[in-house]
Amino acid sequence: MSAPPPYRRSGENPAIRAWATGTTGQADVLRRGAWYPVVDETPEEVVLEVDQAPLRVRREDVRIRADRPTMWSVVVRTGVMRPTLAGQKLVTSYAVCPDCTGRQEFDGEPESMMCTRCRRAAKVDWQTTY
């Protein structure tokens, strides 16, 4: 049996109560498009696991869902995240892996992608962009 791919965060963990992503304006604290495990909560705040450390945020600053995301998030570069040049092409967006939260550039509008970091394949969520 081979070892699991590096950086994977999938699997059951009873300490995870839900999943949260930052709302508009939270990119300085939480990465746009990335979902973080909720490990504790109060009526006013949630505690997220960010880079293996707890981070308290106000409930109104996050969007919460019960289940782990299964699709890639698409982030459009805007404002301080201006488009960048990658060789001869202009990169205006990237995707965030639902498992390891790694960022990955893409061409066109792929239906699914495989993460170069954790090697997980998943569909792309084109309905929601960040």
Domains of the chain (ranges, CATH numbers): 18-65 (2.30.30), 72-129 (no CATH)
Q: What is the structure's pLDDT at 83?
A: 52
Strands 72-76 and 121-129: parallel
Residue 51 or 25, more confident: 51
Question: What's the angle, vertex CA 24, arms to CA 85 and CA 91, rounded to 5?
Answer: 10
Whole-number Å distance between alpha carbons of 115 and 101: 9
Q: Average of pLDDT values for 52-63?
A: 94
Residue 4's pLDDT band (boundaries 50, 70, 90)? very low
Q: Average of pLDDT values for 3-10?
A: 47
Q: What is the structure's pLDDT at 51?
A: 86
CB environment 89-101: b (16+ within 10 A), e (fewer): eeeebbbbbbbbb
